[in-house]
Structure 1
């Protein structure tokens, strides 16, 4: 191994700050929130908390969950994270079907459109694939083992996504690139055909999502980054179609015109099904942006800036179902140092009906109401100062993990001499 910063990442305190995450069932049957190692699910049909059943042949979760996702069909749900466990759940019975033990900490997950494969990426830049044998609710299933699918050379993979038509799997990393790989017919033998690279970001990429409609089944790719931009791509050729600068639009620009505007990080992108709209979460911004994508003109434009007044609510994750225009958001973090609330979450929702003005729902207007909030947030009220501190802690943790570190020549030579993989065993 040649990049010692990867070794440092593995040796960091396992209780580092982790952002709260949210994911919504494609038909809005349930909502899942994670805070640290805690997975909380609420059933919107029965209006009750979900009891998770884990009888799989594998260890229980101990450390922070870093990635969650429902499958496109709504039958599967996957959670994975710092404890090197990938849990594959039935999103109907909420039994854990499989536990996959990863070699390294997991940073991203994806589920194929036919639910036949689950892919996960680790912090060494390797994407693994697990082949599923179908869902059998009556059996306790054995542990699965992932097979290597593809690799980014020693670069943390931040996001995984299947193309809408299932032909490609896309992987984005902290080294500014997006790889578009043909998903093979025999994934367990590896993916060896690269379709393209999407190159143009100047900082780490945090999130990718497809915007598409029934007439354009493959769609176009949107990506968010630490370089203050959202970009639009043609994945077949890797061509950059448009770039949307978001710094000045969120009020983060510097008042001094002689200095360049401070960069902000796009933390999440959520595209609205059968629509040209996408919601964007931005680090340190109390609200969300709505972007519109003209699929014919290949352009991105800002439709609306939605600010959430009255509290320090800065979304750490956003999600929307394919059947509604309700944007779900969560703000929060786990493992906050020196806090009486080491892990917490706050859930909000915004109605995105295109024919009406967007409206921020009050707590009693959110589907599931107080029962949902009690399950997903917990019973403890969180002070404004704690929410602000959590947002700053998440920002620092992301910067430490994904920002490329700069070293002097002397320090670089010292690090080369003291690399762990160069030490000989006696």
Structure 2
């Protein structure tokens, strides 16, 4: 009987659903969506779909994409995932200029603010760096290899972010830790100086972002977690400045059916362009929670909950551009078992985030209709293929993403006997035997 839970867990691993992801160009020149191994990009300037060119390996991604990210200046775009490939794209031509092979599945990516380095993290807890020196925007990179820069001890890294001033690279993992590392002048030699640890979350850390302003250009870190909180940090000291229990403050706490309150994980967050607002996606919420950050008081508070009604729409990813005042939200999943349509994407956009009008009662965040979204029907057709998705599929997808996230990031507890059994069944031990 002791063996059964392990075999069940292994069965779940064979069918891994992956959430749909979205990324937006810093000045909203384009928007990218991934679902499964499919990467779709739409040109918002020209109002047309974009074709991707990849000569590096003869094909695009072969397995689920787990991270997509634009560089700070928008010239580069990175995609990576379960096929252990990290692809670096030039956004002028959307040509893959380089493909890096990772030793393990990739879980997070980040680009340095100066565009000279791509960092990616794997599920074994190692962060790697690729030097982009010599990239001129036209020719593909050659003879570039990834080197290890830092590591979390055998813990899945869930998020990577560079600080606004470029001094630090921040990494988060499923063991509740946030590590702030000084980004060295020669990253390929390794990053050996740890600035601080931000400790306080009681469940896995799922996402990171920085909030900053002209008065606070160095910025403060915000993190989301499986403990249903968003926390504000001083990265230089690692000090916890404020904790916002988003499910409680937004009135989202529910009963789990056993007379106990059950909280929901924060799945994603991003900074709204004015630098003092944060959009938060929560595992069971049909909408987005908007937080305001008072940088002088070092506090977070819930400003509004923007509900997305009319369909089961639980966001899996969200991003904002730095110029247009729009929040792009996506819900979707790949490899959904038991349905004729195992992969789908739904894109929604919320407007009204310009700093000048957010605090005006006349200009509040508004959910746009499909025909009001930049790019209109052409964008919808390119990024999601179709608008209509059966309600049962939407509900099943939301539950599947929740279960998959729990299986991946919630550490399982085993008895001493079961731990010994699992050790004996490890592949390296099998080989020796």
TM-score bracket relative to the smaller structure: over 0.9
Matched positions, count: 420
Partner of 2:328: 328
The yes-or-no answer on 1:381 pairing with 2:374 is: no
Contact 2:250 2:302 in 1 (8 A): no
1:398 pairs, out of 395, 399, 405, with: 405
* TM-score of the aligned structures, taking structure 2 as reference length: 0.93
* Change beyond 3 A, Cα 1:11–1:68: farther
Contact 1:58 1:99 in 2 (8 A): no
Give the Cα–Cα distance (whole angstroms) in 1 for the partners of residues 133 and 424 of structure 2.
47
> Residue deviations 1:226-256, cap 9 Å, x none?
0010000000000000000122344442469
Contact 2:208 2:269 in 1 (8 A): yes
| Root-mean-square deviation over aligned CA pairs | 2.1
Partner of 1:175: 175
Contact 1:270 1:320 in 2 (8 A): yes
Partner of 1:302: 302
| Map 1:216-235 → 2, pairs under 5 A | 216-235=216-235
> Residue deviations 1:107-154, cap 9 Å, x none?
000000010000000000000000002434443443632100000000
Partner of 2:253: 253
The structural deviation recorded for 1:93 is 1.1
Between 41-50 and 351-360, report the one with greater CA deviation. 351-360
1:415 pairs, out of 411, 418, 422, with: 422
Secondary structure, counterpart of 1:213 in structure 2: coil
Contact 2:231 2:240 in 1 (8 A): yes
> Residue deviations 1:270-302, cap 9 Å, x none?
101233111000111100000011101100000
* Change beyond 3 A, Cα 1:344–1:162: same
| Map 1:46-65 → 2, pairs under 5 A | 46-56=46-56, 60-65=60-65
* Change beyond 3 A, Cα 1:258–1:190: same
Contact 1:57 1:143 in 2 (8 A): no
Give the Cα–Cα distance (whole angstroms) in 2 for the partners of residues 255 and 21 of structure 1.
29
Partner of 2:119: 119
Between 413-422 and 276-285, report the one with greater CA deviation. 413-422
Secondary structure, counterpart of 2:315 in structure 1: coil
Contact 1:269 1:278 in 2 (8 A): yes
Partner of 1:159: 159
Secondary structure, counterpart of 1:247 in structure 2: helix
Secondary structure, counterpart of 2:400 in structure 1: helix
Contact 2:33 2:41 in 1 (8 A): yes
* TM-score of the aligned structures, taking structure 1 as reference length: 0.94
Secondary structure, counterpart of 1:278 in structure 2: strand
| Map 1:5-404 → 2, pairs under 5 A | 13=13, 15-56=15-56, 60-142=60-142, 144-254=144-254, 259-353=259-353, 354=358, 355=360, 356-379=363-386, 381-404=388-411
Give the Cα–Cα distance (whole angstroms) in 2 for the partners of residues 259 and 372 of structure 1.
45
Secondary structure, counterpart of 1:161 in structure 2: strand
Structure 1: gaps spanning 5 or more residues: none
* Change beyond 3 A, Cα 1:15–1:260: closer
